[in-house]
Amino acid sequence: MIAYIIRRTLYAIPILIGINFITFGLFFLVNTPDDMARMQLGVKRVTPEAIEKWKAERGYDKPLLYNAAESGRRFLTETIFFEKSVKLFVFDFGRAEDNRDIANEIRTRMGPSLALAVPVFLVGIAVNITFALGMAFFRATYLDLWGVILCVAMMSISSLFYIIGGQYLVSKLWHLVPISGYAEGTDAVKFLVLPVLIGVVGGIGAGSRWYRTLFLEEMGKDYVRTARAKGLAESAVMFRHVLQNAMIPILTGVVVVIPLLFMGSLITESFFGIPGLGSYTIDAIQAQDFAVVRAMVFIGSVLYILGLLLTDLSYTLVDPRVRLD
């Protein structure tokens, strides 16, 4: 097991290097630092001195890949690639446009993001599995048919409409919770109820339908027929046999997103003014703060790879046939 984890972690290294090259290529080769400076300072009426100053302030005034003016190790380290891309590996993200430390910002913003993402994730799974079990239990009846129709209809509504509609109904019309904002501690609850509710409702369509397919696939298998043949009640078959065996495909889809919960949700956070990582990312995209976007791309990738590893480990917990070595 330990050996497996170590091996998988080693596999992650080339992937992270690849990600580094992709982001480096995107941010520094497609457009040179000069282009970015011109973009930030306004395309017209920009002096070469202003561009040089902008680049020097952000450390973009070095050569891209190798520095011919330096010698020895500094030949490679005094470059943009080393300063901006390699240092991501030790989680040194540098500073944002407003001169704040990105790593520090990420640490403080992780809390609100998790406070929103974890309830959405847990409640969402519980609700979706309940609906899916219900539909699978009443399969091939009108209840199932209308359930699927409702799911397809809900899937066809853009997440933006769930947020706008929810904000309008609950906050503006009924005045139940504040429309947006955030507070520390237990005060946060009243700000989080609505986004969590909207996050769960918005996910029902696609989620329940996917789980229903998984359950129906399991229910067509031989062991289910055997269980019924030996006289087990349908509810016992559903909960004891189908649900447990469907755990493997469910885990495949679910565990991989757990680490990504740290990243928060882009749209919901920005609509509700929750100071998490999602709104941080959106603000950075809109302000074209390349350093922050680069940092978030790297963190997101690390978390995704972590999620893949967790998925494999979780198989050993639910499926005794799986041995990792």
Chain center to CA of 97: 24
Among 104, 226, 244, 288, binds other proteins (CB under 8 A): 288
The residue (of 64 and 155) whose beta carbon lies closer to other proteins is 155
Other Cβ atoms less than 10 A from the Cβ of 323: the count is 10
Q: Is 9 in the site for other proteins (CB under 8 A)?
A: no
Residues 140-199 that bind other proteins (CB under 8 A): 152-153, 155-161, 164, 167-168, 172
Q: Which CB, 24 or 227, lies closer to other proteins?
A: 24
Radius of gyration of the chain (CA): 25
Is residue 208 within 8 Å of residue 154, measured between CB atoms?
no
* Rounded distance between C-alpha atoms, residue 91 and residue 102, angstroms: 10
Q: How far is CA 3 from CA 7, 209, 303, 304, in A?
A: 6, 38, 21, 21
Candidate list 254, 261, 305, 309; residue touching other proteins; CB under 8 A: 305
Cα 24 from chain centroid (whole Å): 21
Closest to other proteins by CB, 301 or 314:
301
Mapping DSSP to helix (H, G, I), strand (E, B) and coil, where does residue 121 land?
helix
When asked if residue 221 is in the footprint of other proteins (CB under 8 A), the reply is: no
Best CA proximity match to 36, nearest among 19, 61, 18? 61
Interface residue with other proteins among 125, 285, 310, 313 (CB under 8 A) is: 285
- 50-79 residues in contact with other proteins (CB under 8 A) are none
Closer of 138 and 304 to other proteins (Cβ)? 304
Interacting residues with other proteins (CB under 8 A): 14-15, 18-19, 22-23, 26-27, 30-31, 35-36, 38-39, 43, 152-153, 155-161, 164, 167-168, 172, 260, 263, 266-267, 281-282, 285-286, 288, 290, 293-294, 296-297, 300-301, 304-305
